Amino acid sequence: MFISILLFYVECCFSQSITLIDQFSNSWVIYSLESSYNDSFHWQYTSCCTPPRLQMINATSNSNYENSLQIILNGYNIYNNQFSVAALGFKQDINYQIYNETNVVIINKCSQQNEGINTINSGMMQFQIEVIHPLSAQQQTLIFQYWFVCQYQAFNDPSQIKINFDGSMVIIIVFGCFCVWIFTKMAKIRSLRVEMNLQKHPFLNRLIAVQSFQMEGQVLYFQGFKVNSILYLFYIVASILFYVVVHFINAWYETVLIMCLIFALFCCWFLFNEVQCFLSVNLKLQAEVFKSIRVCDCISAVLSIFFVVLYVTLNQAWFISNLITFCISGSLFRLFKVTSLRGVAILYGFIIIFDCVYYFVFLTRVFHVNYEIIVLQYSNYPVLFQVPQFRYNLNKVCVWLSLMDLVVPGISISYLYRFDRNRNSRVYFIIGLLGLFFGIICWLIGTLTSQKYQIQLPQSIFVYPLIILFTCLWAIRQNDLRTIWYGLFYDKYLMDNFTVEYNPEQSKNELENSAFKQEQMTILLKGLRLESQL
């Protein structure tokens, strides 16, 4: 939701910036070393997912759905008639003619002339010419690109732009599910040994992820923040701050980017620390270098700074951005936890209501923007998983998946994994992953089929209900619904230190003398495997 609100403010600022106007008289392009048209028809691929600002060539009913683009090479000579043209978007008819050594005409024609379609098809055209350089007299390859648009009806708003299915969408869905799978199996925080005393600081019960039946005097260690109303309040305050930044600071893009990079530094440091503590059996990494600073802290700091600097140096390359997003999502998985399926359902309910209003009212009815396109066009921050497309759409060269679309359902799947650990099974964890996977597939199908109605669908209305539905149906079958709904089980990840601090005989005596209810005591005894000693 947080990313969606940020993008909403960005869309408000730039919703009128996309236009489809052919600015060239007779579509003539003169290419020379001094011409200003060179940059308009050349995309220097830098592995960044920000779409190139190329010229758009229209084919409308007035031109019989055709457009001829004439290229005049000023000072260059075509070498041995070596010329090729290819479509990097939807299928279309392409012809070209070489009149002389310096003049080429490309004829673009829409392959399907269906005037009943209320959308526009688009793709990138790329042509390559082998020429003789005028100064060095050596052979040189010139590569040009431009957007070709088939406009069957009058263009009114960017939401009419048709997003064609691309195989890279499957890749990013599988990658996203893999991230959820790997991070939910690393649910316990190991690198931050922060001891807490709930008796001295009772307000921590509202912030820290602990179970409702903790033993008096028990030593607790920080295992994440609880997802509750306090977190929602923090989210609203942060959203207002973003609104102030976007609307009242001129250099808002740089400001937001710096904030994202600072957040990325912390998340990368934290996750690298967790990985070292999770995989390492060498205690030398835990040795203190200076006061409480450990060897693993220094290694993590160097790696996090390296990735952030590399991201800036390589002009926000998509593969470096994915690594940083991977670290941020992994950190959020571990830092935020839910303690009951009821809390998950409440969280999902608030998000679904917000998304329905946001998509169906603001995006579709008020601002008429294309959410798929504008995200990468104006908000290419390291908070999105991005994969280049095999076929380009207008102003869209990558597919993306927001980390919040994975973190929010991933928090609930992590809860199901912790419940499985209590049952020594993997069923609920697999059911949650299946709900996530099929939910994203349904969202993808719904998004591609609903474009003719100019409706943009949120992912939450597909993913969240499926996860809750699959989990509840299986819990009813196993008679676990009440236990998993209210979180009435021994959570080993939140209470593992209980078994470390107490031996079985002492734990038995402490429990018998405690003020726990019989139901809570039975759950704890089963978790500690003390039934045989009663």
Residue 186 has pLDDT above 80, yes or no: no
Burial of residue 378 (number of CB atoms within 10 Å: 0-12, 13-18, 19+): middle
The residues of the chain that CATH labels 2.60.40 are 21-154
Say yes or no to pLDDT of 532 above 60: no
Query: Over 50: is that where the pLDDT of 452 sits?
Result: yes
Q: Let me know: does 497 contact 220? Beta carbons within 8 Å.
A: yes
Residue 507 vs residue 186, higher pLDDT: 186
pLDDT band at 451 (very low <50, low <70, confident <90, very high): low
Percent of the chain predicted with pLDDT > 90: 7
Kindly state the average pLDDT of the residues 233-242.
Answer: 72
Average pLDDT for the chain: 76
How much is the average pLDDT of 457-486? 88
Mean pLDDT of the region 404-410: 85
Lowest mean pLDDT among 89-93, 139-143, 340-344: 89-93
Range with the lowest mean pLDDT among 49-53, 83-87, 117-121, 346-350? 117-121
In three-state secondary structure terms, 319 is: helix
Q: Which of 140-154, 398-412, 496-510 has the lowest mean pLDDT?
A: 496-510
Determine the average pLDDT of the residues in 196-206. Answer: 68
Residues 6+ apart with CB under 8 A from 103: 70, 71, 72, 73
Picking from 224, 206, 311, the residue whose alpha carbon sits closest to that of residue 274 is: 224
| Closest by Cα among 75, 152, 74, 158 to 115 | 152
Q: Is 99 exposed, middle or buried (0-12, 13-18, 19+ CB in 10 A)?
A: exposed
Q: How confident is the model at residue 473 (pLDDT cuts 50, 70, 90)?
A: very high
Tokens 């669908």 belong to residue: 457
pLDDT at 46: 66
Rounded to an integer, the average pLDDT of 318-338 is 88
Q: What is the mean pLDDT of residues 239-262?
A: 76
> Taking a C-beta distance cutoff of 8 angstroms, is the pair 226, 208 a contact?
yes
Q: How confident is the model at residue 303 (pLDDT cuts 50, 70, 90)?
A: very high
Mean pLDDT in residue range 188-212: 70
Mean pLDDT, residues 278-304: 76
Fold of 21-154: Immunoglobulin-like (2.60.40)
Instruction: Express each pLDDT in 114-167 by its tens digit.
Output: 655 667 788 888 888 888 877 777 888 888 888 888 887 777 666 677 777 778
pLDDT at 118: 66
Residue 449 pLDDT more than 50?
Answer: yes
- pLDDT > 60? residue 493: yes
Mean pLDDT value of segment 268-276: 87
Does pLDDT of 179 surpass 90? Answer: no
- pLDDT higher at 357 or 200: 357
pTM of the model: 0.80
pLDDT at 468: 92
Angle between helices 427-449 and 168-184 (to 10 degrees): 150
Tens digits of residue pLDDT in 417-433: 888 887 778 898 999 99
